[in-house]
Structure 1
Amino acid sequence: MQLTPQILPDANSIGTIIADLILERMERKAGRPFLLGCPSGRTAAPVYAALARKAGKGADLSKLTIVMMDDYVLPDGDGSLRIVDPEASYSCLGFARREILAPIAKACADAGTTPPTEIWTANPSDPGEYDSRIEAAGGIDLFLLASGDTDGHVAFNQPGTPRNARTHIVELGEATRRDNMNTFPEFTDLRMVPRHGVTVGVDTIARLSTEVVMILCGQNKREAYSRIANAHQYEPDWPATIATECRNAAFLVDHDAATVRV
């Protein structure tokens, strides 16, 4: 299914619209847990900031459950894999704690409301358990999606990811690792970026999400905009095109990302 982009002035406009959508969908669930699929990094940051602002005005986010897309992993002493230390600035779990829940919790405290506390991450020693846990909870209510600038990765799904991929361990390509150097300035050398991650698969996103929103902001996303806007189905060389095969998919883009080079 080809997606129709909704072009908005800037990232903050996108953040406000999506935050309103999340709150409206939460109200529909009548107090039951609301699973929000979340990327770390820059793309969805305006959404998280808008949710915190709305929490400060009394919005009820107590039932929000943050379901993280992915995280970096490192070898453990016994040969197994573990997610990186949550205290590391590039930890996706740490990002969820610091950049998503902490501002919302502070806003809730100021407003005298109950803050959300739940964060889910995949266990690299048993990746398949993540899909089972999500499915048992009724699926992701709304998944926020982003695309890599130059290789179209979504979560840590690399070019060539098969359509049936579920949560798995992945070796990260150079383009994905360079994208993350832009996100985390302390990565001053590509050798500093972990080489592996645990990630939801493209099938996890499409099969277990009730609704998705693909977000593209900035001039660096123009190639991603062109690829996704012109896709009719999943294209393995640009995994973010999985959005075309998701139920209730929206495509929100700012002017900078949607401007065609001449």
Structure 2
Amino acid sequence: MFVVFSNAHAIADYLTDHIAQQIRTKPTTSLGLATGSTMEPIYARLLQRIQAEALDLSQITTFNLDEYIGLAPDHPQSYFYFMQHHLFAAVGLQPGQVHLPCGVCSDAEQECQDYAAKLARVGGLDIQLLGIGSNGHIGFNEPGTPFDSRTHVVALSEKTRRDNGRFFERFEDVPTHAITMGIAEILSAKEIFLVATGRHKADIMARLYESGIDEQLPASALKQHAHLRVLVDEAAAELLPTHVKTVV
């Protein structure tokens, strides 16, 4: 389950190869995307590959995991802005191809229902990329989230808000709520890649390895998935037992 790479760039190369081959094989591929610093080298390498090979993206669709409530799409810390900056604009994806929850909709609960319906219509994403929070959250599914959850509004934990506070000028500016894809929707993907890089992720990787399937550790739900790969660099793998690591 755990695959260890020398560094984050090696993980990016591996994932880029896989995603590019998936798109060539199935031009109508649906991709589940994540945001955050872990994803930046992945999207940078994917962008290079798309441009170098003139990969046809005209039929793909993308679905992002989450969005902050209260941030407009043009806010520099919104996840829509992140995706536009790191991938969407540069590869020319059209508005109808990309899907993110709306952070400034008038009815957040209705937005959740609408987003869940869009996900249901694709019948499960082909590939889902995930990062992991220091408390084990995936998407913004905080500890205690039911594993059968679908797209919902979540109150962000103090730990998550402090972890994400480095992206905002003041802690007070960090949103308190978000809309997130649910765990059941994440698990419906055909393939899941959980990526963790850096020594600061070593503790949660060890906890994930040691844990049973427990709603207090949202990422442990992934252990039920038949096609899960956990991709870590050497720093994030530091506390994992040697015998569980496949090194490439």
Q: Does the TM-score normalized on the shorter chain lie above 0.5?
A: yes
Q: Which ranges in structure 1 are unaligned for 5 or more consecutive residues?
A: 75-83, 106-114
Amino acid in structure 2 at the alignment position of 1:180: N
2:68 maps to amino acid: Y
1:64 matched residue in structure 2: 60
State which of 213, 218, 224 in structure 1 corresponds to 2:198.
Answer: 218
Q: Deviating runs (4+, > 6 A) in structure 1?
A: none
The residue number in structure 1 matching 2:243 is: none
Post-superposition CA distance 1:93-112 (Å, at most 9, x none): 11111112123x2xxxxxxx
CA distance in 2, matches of 1:248, 1:223: 24
Q: 1:225 and 1:91 mapped to 2: Cα distance?
A: 27
Counting matched residue pairs gives: 231
Deviations 1:22-81 (A, max 9, x none): 11112221x3x221111111111121111111012124141332211000113xxxxxxx
Indicate yes or no: 2:173 matched with 1:229. no
Aligned to 1:111: none
Report which stretch shifted further, 220-229 or 117-126: 117-126
Alpha-carbon displacement from aligned partner over 1:147-201 (angstroms, at most 9, x marks no partner): 102x11111111111111110001111111111123x1xx233211010000001
Do 2:152 and 2:182's aligned partners in 1 also have CA atoms closer than 8 Å? yes
Distance 1:100 1:126, change over 3 A: same
What RMSD in Å do the two structures reach over aligned CA positions? 1.6
TM-fit CA distance, 1:246: 2.3
Aligned-residue offset at 1:91: 0.3
Are 2:119 and 2:185, in contact at CA under 8 Å, matched by a contact in 1? no
Q: State how far apart, in whole Å, the 2-side matches of 1:61 and 1:15 are.
A: 20
Structure 2 CA distance for aligned equivalents of residues 22 and 189 of structure 1: 37
What is aligned with 2:176? Answer: 195
TM-score (norm. length: structure 2): 0.88
- For residues 84-140 of structure 1, give each alpha carbon's deviation from its aligned partner in whole angstroms, at most 9, with x where no partner exists: 11111110111111112123x2xxxxxxxxx43321012533302222211212321
Identity of aligned residues (%): 29
- Conserved in 1, the CA contact under 8 Å of 2:127 and 2:192? yes
Residues 1:258 and 2:237 aligned together? yes
Q: CA–CA distance in 2 between the matches of 1:133 and 1:17?
A: 29
User: Which sections of structure 2, spanning at least 5 residues, go unmatched?
Assistant: 103-107, 241-248
User: What is the match of residue 240 of structure 1?
Assistant: 219
**2: CA distance between counterparts of 1:229 and 1:28?**
33
Q: Is 2:203–2:239's contact at 8 Å kept on the other side of the alignment? A: no
Do structure 1's residue 145 and structure 2's residue 130 form an aligned pair? yes
2:40 aligned residue? 45
1:175 aligns with 2:159: yes
Matched, 1:91 2:72: no
Q: Is 1:54 aligned with 2:34?
A: no
From the two aligned structures, give the one with the greater helix fraction: 2
What's 1:116 paired with? 93
